[in-house]
């Protein structure tokens, strides 16, 4: 058994790829005992997805998302394997799955029956569109959720097409959302089904733009890196070709930026409304000011003025940055450097024990000893 604040939790992870497995990963990072169940013939497709570790040929995403989990191969269409998984679920606190609605039932794992056998069980169902509604049976992919939740519509340049994020944003955020919802359900002390989906999660992080449309008929425009209510806000190139990010999302910080730009007393820029109405002029001022100074100078001048500024880092910058090192944000788990824990708890910290394991690495022990493996 593991250590950590969630060491008393037993989690069966039937999910694949990202959102569902990320939910189980966050629980495992804080000590939950997670058994990852995979198809014995194919394994989780995440094993072969995207970047491979050149040292051993294994998927880097797999190593990250399925760290701290035990693995077992089981064919849920085989009655002996299915019974083994049912036995594990009977003693579990949490079941995580991301089949399309109805598939879990067709496999013989009806939530009602599982809850009748294990009244404390929390069944976390992660899908593209939820268990109900006209879109429930559609395949769930983050890119589609980002398109349909309004994110793509507000992303991109004003004269360009809608854009999708360059990372698996919705899968990652949905994993966090599912872990949060799981803990809420566990805290309730009542066995139940938790319905989490990609569309609803990304829609939730869109802020009040649906309220804006409903009450005022307004749509948020595409502004590149800008925001309608914050000027200046974006990335700006410096004289050495490097970039900085600048934000003036509070009036106080905006005033400091205006002072640095030499327009602190210009009435056009003293209020949110004024800055919004004079967006083009202010963005040009910011761009010109940055373009005549190196990135280090821009960061120092604005930081000294207590304005919000930061260099635009790529992963090479991050790998050698002193703050990341001081915070131990890139530990080596097993033999692979990766992101550390999502949060630091002062009294009951999480523990990173091992990277994602081979297919069926713990299968023999689990078949013999169950949760005692």
CB 237 within 8 A of CB 290: yes
Token pair belonging to 179: 């872990």
Backbone angles phi, psi at 260, to 5 degrees: -65, -40
**171 has catalytic annotation:** yes
Distance CA 162, CA 155 (A): 6
Question: What 3-state class would DSSP assign to 227?
Answer: strand
Q: Which residue in 171, 240, 266, 360 is the catalytic one? A: 171
In terms of Cβ atoms closer than 10 Å to its own Cβ (0-12, 13-18, 19+), residue 220 is middle
Distances (CA, A) of 122 to 19, 97, 107, 342: 17, 11, 18, 23
Per the DSSP assignment, residues forming a β-bridge with 58 are none
Distance CA 246, CA 351 (A): 35
Q: In what order do the strands lie in the sheet with 233-237?
A: 233-237, 243-247, 308-311
Task: Return the active site residues.
Answer: 171
């Amino acid at each position: 058994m593991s250590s950590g604040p969630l060491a008393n939790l037993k989690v069966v992870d039937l999910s694949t790829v990202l959102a569902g497995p990320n939910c189980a990963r966050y629980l495992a990072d804080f000590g939950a005992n997670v058994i990852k169940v995979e198809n014995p013939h194919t394994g989780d497709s995440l094993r072969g997805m995207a970047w491979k570790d050149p040292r051993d040929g294994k998927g880097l995403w797999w190593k990250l998302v399925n760290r701290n989990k035990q693995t077992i191969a089981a064919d849920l269409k085989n009655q002996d394997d299915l019974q083994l998984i049912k036995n594990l679920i009977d003693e579990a606190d949490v079941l995580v799955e991301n089949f399309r609605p109805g598939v879990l039932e067709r496999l013989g794992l009806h939530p009602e029956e599982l809850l009748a056998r294990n009244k404390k069980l929390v069944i976390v169902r992660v899908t593209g569109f939820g268990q109900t509604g006209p879109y429930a049976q559609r395949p769930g992919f983050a890119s589609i959720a980002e398109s349909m939740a309004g994110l793509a519509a507000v992303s991109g340049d004003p004269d360009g097409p809608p854009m999708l994020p360059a990372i698996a944003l919705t899968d990652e955020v949905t994993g966090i959302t599912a872990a949060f919802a799981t803990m809420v359900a566990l805290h309730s002390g009542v066995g139940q089904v938790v319905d989490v989906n990609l569309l609803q999660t990304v829609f939730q992080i869109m802020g009040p733009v649906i309220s804006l449309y409903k009450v005022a008929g307004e749509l948020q425009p595409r502004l590149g890196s800008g925001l309608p209510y914050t000027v200046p806000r974006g990335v700006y190139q410096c004289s050495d070709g490097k970039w900085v990010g600048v934000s003036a999302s509070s009036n106080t910080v905006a005033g400091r930026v205006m002072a640095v730009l030499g327009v602190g007393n210009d009435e056009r820029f003293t209020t949110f409304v004024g800055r919004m109405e004079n967006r083009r002029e202010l963005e040009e001022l910011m761009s010109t000011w940055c373009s005549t100074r190196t990135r280090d100078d821009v960061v120092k001048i604005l930081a000294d003025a207590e304005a919000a500024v930061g260099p635009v880092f790529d992963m090479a910058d991050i790998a050698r940055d002193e703050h990341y090192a001081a915070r131990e944000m890139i530990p080596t788990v097993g033999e692979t450097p990766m992101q550390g824990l999502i949060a630091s708890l002062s009294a009951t910290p999480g523990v990173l024990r091992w990277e994602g394991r081979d297919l069926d690495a713990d299968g023999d022990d689990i078949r013999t000893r169950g949760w005692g493996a």
